[in-house]
Structure 1
């Protein structure tokens, strides 16, 4: 077994320091040099050593400029280093090499979303979903963009697609918030209940459930939800303020 193969095995097992040692030996022995730089960079990336990872991805790309994975993970590392411009450029290079790389379209969209460029982000998510219509993360992030653009019906449609594909508490929570904005309180309440069922420790779902119960004039039930939110996060001042308000009302 070569040093490169041993490094790859340790990388697969999540033993990143050992992987780095073997990839370094592989580079010194001139074995699978481009892939060894990439493997070492990937190990460093998973260890959150993004600066060193980028240096190794640069070396890998110098040796093999046609491998989309090298650009993809350099883009991910650049994003982690708060460099969205370079991250976006790397995802563009991935797409140039592999136009069907739906994850690269999604990641570019995610970068744009974090820059508040919601229309551009949606275009990237659309391209990703054209290639892979079952990519639930893409629906979730596109829904977030629609929420920010106040296109609430489209947001609800996308959150519903995520829930149909792979139910997640955040999708129920976010859809519940959108229903809340639209004053569809019954549907919002159902979604927060679903969110809590999937994640009983999500204090925001309890708080928002309490806020809906307040609007429904079910104050005793609302108080119980605020208490649960505060128990889960004792520093959550919004829940503390609501409970203090009711204490003053009842004193």
Structure 2
């Protein structure tokens, strides 16, 4: 065997080892899931195959489907998660969000309320429910839920904005301006801050 042929065969063996080594397998798996949410779905599916009573795995997979805008698959997993754990407040919240994305506002409202019932300290659930009340033009209920959300988490900016909108719709402009200002104080989003400032100016105030 001449030296060139020997080098070629040796190189071929080394190349083959790379592909069958754990490193090669890991690289191939990494390429398979270029979307991190697909990786979550695959991992959770594997967990569920081993234990069909894992409520957390159904919830995490449902969230991944929700992010991928696959709402029916998300709802199916959230249903199963809640079936396994009827107090799963985050599953109710995310199921409500899936219903909201499908335009089923009453179902969304019911799930946000269930999230609050399961965990009365869940500030985000009050905020999400307030969004539904805005859509339904039930502004007193918007203010009520935003007040509760702010009581639980005063640094969360969105309830101030929703409350400002509600006061504006009720023609209580000073209260609207005060809440837009509170939103500006607590928000870190420069675009939305400018929008709030414009809303204040539109009501005759100054930011």
Residue 149 of structure 2 is aligned to residue 128 of structure 1: yes
Aligned partners of 2:53 and 2:84 also within 8 Å: no
Distance 1:38 1:106, change over 3 A: same
Aligned partners of 1:156 and 1:175 also within 8 Å: no
Given candidates 169, 183, 195, the residue that maps to 1:173 is: 195
Aligned partners of 1:136 and 1:162 also within 8 Å: yes
Distance 1:67 1:181, change over 3 A: closer
Tell me the CA shift for residue 14 of structure 1. Answer: 6.2
Given candidates 12, 23, 46, the residue that maps to 1:25 is: 46
Aligned partners of 1:140 and 1:171 also within 8 Å: no
Distance 1:28 1:162 in 2: 45
Distance 1:141 1:35, change over 3 A: same
Tell me the CA shift for residue 31 of structure 1. Answer: 6.4
User: Which structure has the greater CA radius of gyration?
Assistant: 2
Greater relative contact order (CA < 8 Å, ≥ 6 in sequence)? 2
Distance 1:88 1:45 in 2: 17
Structure 1: gaps spanning 5 or more residues: 1-12, 192-251
Aligned residue number for residue 113 of structure 1? 134
Distance 1:155 1:121 in 2: 13
- Cα-Cα RMSD: 1.9
Give the TM-score of the pair, scaled to structure 1: 0.64
Distance 1:145 1:115, change over 3 A: same
Structure 2: gaps spanning 5 or more residues: 1-33
Distance 1:145 1:75 in 2: 22
Give a deviation string over 1:36-64, Cα, whole Å, max 9, x none: 11111111011011111001100111111
Distance 1:89 1:61 in 2: 14
Give the TM-score of the pair, scaled to structure 2: 0.77
Provide runs of 4+ in structure 1 moved above 4 Å: none
Distance 2:143 2:127 in 1: 9
Tell me the CA shift for residue 173 of structure 1. Answer: 2.7
Give a deviation string over 1:153-209, Cα, whole Å, max 9, x none: 111101111222235333333343343343x5xx4xxx6xxxxxxxxxxxxxxxxxx
Distance 1:159 1:17 in 2: 39
Given candidates 74, 80, 85, the residue that maps to 2:101 is: 80
Distance 1:14 1:107 in 2: 27
